[in-house]
Structure 1
């Protein structure tokens, strides 16, 4: 097994984590605490494992979001609910969302329990060093229910990989908006319109990033990647895959293959049952 094969497994699993950002059950549970619906519940629920942090640490770890957007919701969210309350609400919401999308019978199956055990073994191979968002989630207690243990393990793997991706971007001197500008220029699914609307970067800020990248020879003035820019994006992805490889080495090739076999039907079912808005994880 190589890092790129492991990376494919990680990307296959990600919808089972990410559906929690779109699930109405999570929005309902967190907003019931007094946190504003929508973006506020996203920032609060994902940041809550770090404790009562301010906008700075959240913007640093979420990276590609405009810091001004983060500051609009954090730390004010903690005036409505404590981080511990938000974490508990998030997990209640995710559990309900999995039940709706996958069915109670599936969640109680031996296959889900086996997948949870395998994913937990993989997560045990993660290192917290230099990975603040992963480390915060790793400090949370493990859920008892197998399907929530599976969600927690997949979340640990996703945040471990995400922290490594941020490190690769920083090492390549790509700011949060530079990361979005270069990523959308690859044409791999994420559009400029979606990036700007969800991450809150203005047209002027986008244009300034393009201009700066053009000065570095990474883009044309029209916003297309040059050969150097394409090579840099490849380097970022390669470094991300390499730094995320340890947990899959710990699980081993046969364990990774088995986890893929067990979870692929869960992902397919969740997608078919409307886990995401149209165009997300299509």
Structure 2
């Protein structure tokens, strides 16, 4: 009989793996590799890197699957970016950037360690239970081959689990009737999302868009006069995460309680090493 997972164990495991996957998007190695194939704009680089697994898709597909980016920002770069570098070229550059990023953040000894190999095996085992239906970003990445090198396989598995949860999360946001900017504002208000400066600087929305979303959330009874989550807003965000947990439970139930605990432990050690090496910019997370 499978041991039941402790409450939120899957979410905690995902959060660590998600952070490992996210290191790529703040890495100078990614910018260097994409510049080498002609993609120098940082927005174009992000859209291409994350969307390439879906092929040479148009801006509508990227907007639908990324959710909280302004469509006009995406349309400035997609599909034009595919005329600069094909999805296959971008994927190859991404693999080179992942290799360089993990070696720089973790060190060659850690990259070659048995712990990284064990973490990769566990994460891939969890991903075996992910489902493709109604999960376009996950399904596209699931069609990619698993790299042979353990550190690249770990990154691949972390990406699968990241996108699997993310696809489900978008369905929950839609059901909660939070539009892209409202989702950003309410997440920032929890203190665990990007600061308004980072959200506006990367997602393409204006300060006016942000303030209008604050007004809508206040009128809906989710924010107080200071723009903080009230009891109803806090309850909604907690419910969103709980419902996302339910949609994302399969991979972690498949791995089992002991496997999830071990994968979380291994991934935390790797993430702390990456943090110490400066994997993420300061001041990105919070309300300020």
TM-score higher than 0.5: yes
Residue 189 of structure 2 corresponds to residue 167 of structure 1: no
8 A contact 1:3–1:242 mirrored in 2: no
Residues 59 and 3 (structure 1 numbering): CA distance in 2 closer, same or farther, change over 3 Å? Answer: farther
What residue in structure 2 maps to residue 225 of structure 1? 229
CA separation in 2, counterparts of 1:3 and 1:156? 22
Alpha-carbon shift at residue 84 of structure 1 (Å): 0.9
The CA deviation string for residues 115-162 of structure 1, in whole angstroms up to 9 with x for no partner, is: 111110001111111111111111111111111000000000001011
Moved more, 55-64 or 210-219: 210-219
Residues 266 and 94 (structure 1 numbering): CA distance in 2 closer, same or farther, change over 3 Å? Answer: same
CA separation in 2, counterparts of 1:40 and 1:189? 23
The 5 A counterparts of 1:155-194 are 155-188=159-192, 190-194=194-198
Residue 95 of structure 2 corresponds to residue 91 of structure 1: yes
Gaps of 5+ in 2: none
Gaps of 5+ in 1: none
8 A contact 2:9–2:260 mirrored in 1: no
8 A contact 1:64–1:176 mirrored in 2: yes
Alpha-carbon shift at residue 38 of structure 1 (Å): 1.6
Alpha-carbon shift at residue 54 of structure 1 (Å): 0.7
User: What is the TM-score when the length of structure 1 is the normalising length?
Assistant: 0.95
Alpha-carbon shift at residue 279 of structure 1 (Å): 3.3
Alpha-carbon shift at residue 209 of structure 1 (Å): 1.6
What residue in structure 2 maps to residue 263 of structure 1? 267
The 5 A counterparts of 1:36-47 are 36-47=40-51
User: 2:54 aligned to 50, 63, 68, which one?
Assistant: 50
Alpha-carbon shift at residue 185 of structure 1 (Å): 1.9
The 5 A counterparts of 1:118-197 are 118-188=122-192, 190-197=194-201
The CA deviation string for residues 234-265 of structure 1, in whole angstroms up to 9 with x for no partner, is: 11111111111110000001111111222222
The CA deviation string for residues 29-48 of structure 1, in whole angstroms up to 9 with x for no partner, is: 11211112322111110010
The CA deviation string for residues 73-123 of structure 1, in whole angstroms up to 9 with x for no partner, is: 111110101001101110111111111111122211222111111110001
8 A contact 2:53–2:141 mirrored in 1: yes
CA separation in 2, counterparts of 1:157 and 1:141? 15
User: What is the TM-score when the length of structure 2 is the normalising length?
Assistant: 0.93
CA RMSD of aligned residues (A): 1.6
